[in-house]
Structure 1
């Protein structure tokens, strides 16, 4: 019986703790406990209503420049490059196509069999001489008062002379086209054309690269388009010359982005007067630029909500949220655009616990965000 009584007492106590004492029993016990409980509840409610300040760490908002650095890979092409193409059909009788030979514009690099063209020129010259003799004879007779030579006859003789002269010119052009000369100064590439080969019109004989100046071609992503400007320095390196950096300058860049890669093609001129670099080499390019000073905060100061990124600014013991636009990141430093003034105290630790207008207390003040 004693055990049952104790068990009922324990159950009643537990019920009272969890669900409270029933009002009927409270009335039996008296009003004093009720008043004491109400007083206790009122004190608790009052203490909650007072609110507690959130402890945070503050630091002044600073401004610093950001150094934009772009590294990308490209390849080199000659500033001037020419594919030498034959315009005639014929057999090669002379060739000077030694690879890597430096040649000047106008140097003969190949001759085709030109016997037919030489004979055609002789025939055209003979017809011209005959026409010239006829015109000279007619003019002489007219000057002596001979009426046999009419104006019509003299005019026809002069037209025949002009046609003969034109035929001589055509024959000379045909003969010259059998001799192929260098269109530009530069260095000869490899060629498989040799004496005895028969070429057709349109065949590529050799490529000439004028490589005293090279063009480094590379792609710049959309996010780095702001780095591009004609004349801007570009630094390039190649695995062939480890540790050596060649300086160039942007010559041109595309007026639109590639729809697939979202990048623009850039060409930079590189001085190669010493001939160390070859067309087709792979380059690693680097460009850099310092921005105007921008506000910079630690990454822990940035918070996010549905509206985007923001920082908390402390003023008069309260925190207010100011939106920001993130521009650059470097480690735990973030460069931003914001309406918060430089020098304002911002929350760099404890920001995740804040609500707009929340009271804050300073547990520690940061001397600088860059520290």
Structure 2
């Protein structure tokens, strides 16, 4: 009885080992396919009615899976490297000022007796704008002129007496008379300045703004009278970010537009910019000059400013071509059917394109899709190539259709050697 129990136990162990080995073998065959050496084949009915055997995977199939003839080719999308300039567009919002403007202010106080301050009137330099009451200043000028004439006569008399040898006139007396004459001349000059200040004139040529000064008003010193704008050209003031400093240059063209004239573009040029970056806004102030000889644009208008900077032709690729690693960004190129990794520095990025700096010849085929699956030296095949027999594994690889025929031949040989049951 004990012997039977032991035999049953041994049989169970044997069955367990056989089942385990079958499971392991099945898992291996599922993962790695059936080795060709086992001669396992399956029948395939051909169009001619003959049955062909298909080997599990022959030597050629093993070569495609990583044998000495090359690894399985990775399907990628290739894009030719193109050279295009990069357009960097700087945008800003600014306001316009007249290239020359002046605020007319009264230097003295007085009563207004005459005005020429019609709004939007064109004036030239020296035109009278406001006349103040100047009677006091006129009288002061007459007094100063009379004193000057008296001082001159005294100097002439002293000079004649001294020249005739009259001892009553000394050199000191003559010098004092001459000093008095100079003081009288200065008083006349002051009186004339005071009289001129009563007449307020246009300091520049341009167009008058609004003014509320009327006849009969009393102005005090420092009172604002009117503004004058010379709008033959406008100065647009705007700010650009710090990154634009290297792109600024005097004479550079700018494109401006205003909501007043929708769809129209007014060209100008940069005439000046600040020498330092604002510590708060981190921007630089720029002045651009716009011609306004037709008078359509007004000072104070808001403008949208664009500055277009075009670089030299650079290598441009889809952004999907860039791969990243610890060493930085890079791209993969097709080097005779083999993947080669090239370091690439990204210079600019816009939408789905990047401009790079890399040691790649223009026109080279670059992997734009599928680069994440590649390793150095991996064979590649283009998914977007022309229709035909795809070549895998580089120059020494066997065409896929040839491998299929080779596999079929091996299968037929295996079938012919099988013994009928």
- Indicate the TM-score class for this superposition, using the shorter chain for normalisation: 0.7 to 0.9
Q: 2:182 — aligned with what?
A: 162
> Per the alignment, in what secondary structure is the counterpart of residue 383 of structure 2?
strand
Q: 2:157 — aligned with what?
A: 137
How many residue pairs end up in the alignment? 339
5 Å-filtered alignment, 1:13-162, equals 16=20, 50=67, 52-162=72-182
Q: 1:346 — aligned with what?
A: 366
CA contact (8 A) 1:59 1:366 kept: no
Q: 1:32 — aligned with what?
A: none
Q: 2:49 — aligned with what?
A: none
Cα distance in 1 for partners of 2:226, 2:17 equals 105
TM-score by length of 2: 0.72
Q: Please, which of 315, 318, 331 is the counterpart of residue 295 of structure 1?
A: 315
Q: Which stretch of the first structure deviates more once superposed, 141-150 or 131-140?
A: 141-150
Deviation of 1:365 after TM superposition, in Å, equals 4.9
> Per the alignment, in what secondary structure is the counterpart of residue 137 of structure 1?
helix
Q: 2:304 — aligned with what?
A: 284
Cα distance in 2 for partners of 1:305, 1:70 equals 32
Cα distance in 1 for partners of 2:17, 2:96 equals 89
1:180 aligns with 2:200: yes
1:362 aligns with 2:381: yes
| CA offsets 1:95-138 (integer angstroms, 9 cap, x no match) | 22222111101111112222222222122111111111111222
| CA offsets 1:131-166 (integer angstroms, 9 cap, x no match) | 111112222222333222111111111111111111
C-alpha change, 1:303 and 1:232, in structure 2 (3 Å) is same
CA contact (8 A) 2:64 2:72 kept: no
List alignment gaps of at least 5 residues for structure 2: 1-11, 26-37, 39-58, 387-421
Greater radius of gyration (CA): 2
Cα distance in 2 for partners of 1:88, 1:14 equals 121
C-alpha change, 1:347 and 1:206, in structure 2 (3 Å) is same
C-alpha change, 1:14 and 1:124, in structure 2 (3 Å) is farther
C-alpha change, 1:365 and 1:49, in structure 2 (3 Å) is closer
Which of structure 1's runs of 4+ aligned residues deviate more than 4 A?
11-15, 17-21, 45-51
Q: 2:30 — aligned with what?
A: none
Cα distance in 2 for partners of 1:326, 1:222 equals 20
Deviation of 1:16 after TM superposition, in Å, equals 3.1
| CA offsets 1:20-60 (integer angstroms, 9 cap, x no match) | 69xxxxxxxxxxxxxx9xxxxxx9x9997755442222233
> Per the alignment, in what secondary structure is the counterpart of residue 132 of structure 1?
helix
Q: 1:237 — aligned with what?
A: 257
Q: 2:405 — aligned with what?
A: none
Cα distance in 2 for partners of 1:47, 1:325 equals 35
> Per the alignment, in what secondary structure is the counterpart of residue 203 of structure 2?
coil
| CA offsets 1:196-227 (integer angstroms, 9 cap, x no match) | 33323222222111110111222223344444
Cα distance in 2 for partners of 1:124, 1:18 equals 134
Deviation of 1:275 after TM superposition, in Å, equals 0.9
Deviation of 1:359 after TM superposition, in Å, equals 0.6
Cα distance in 2 for partners of 1:193, 1:309 equals 70
Q: Please, which of 277, 292, 295 is the counterpart of residue 275 of structure 1?
A: 295
Q: 2:272 — aligned with what?
A: 252
Q: 1:40 — aligned with what?
A: none
Deviation of 1:76 after TM superposition, in Å, equals 0.9
Cα distance in 1 for partners of 2:296, 2:24 equals 93
C-alpha change, 1:275 and 1:13, in structure 2 (3 Å) is farther
The CA RMSD measured in Å over matched residues stands at: 3.1
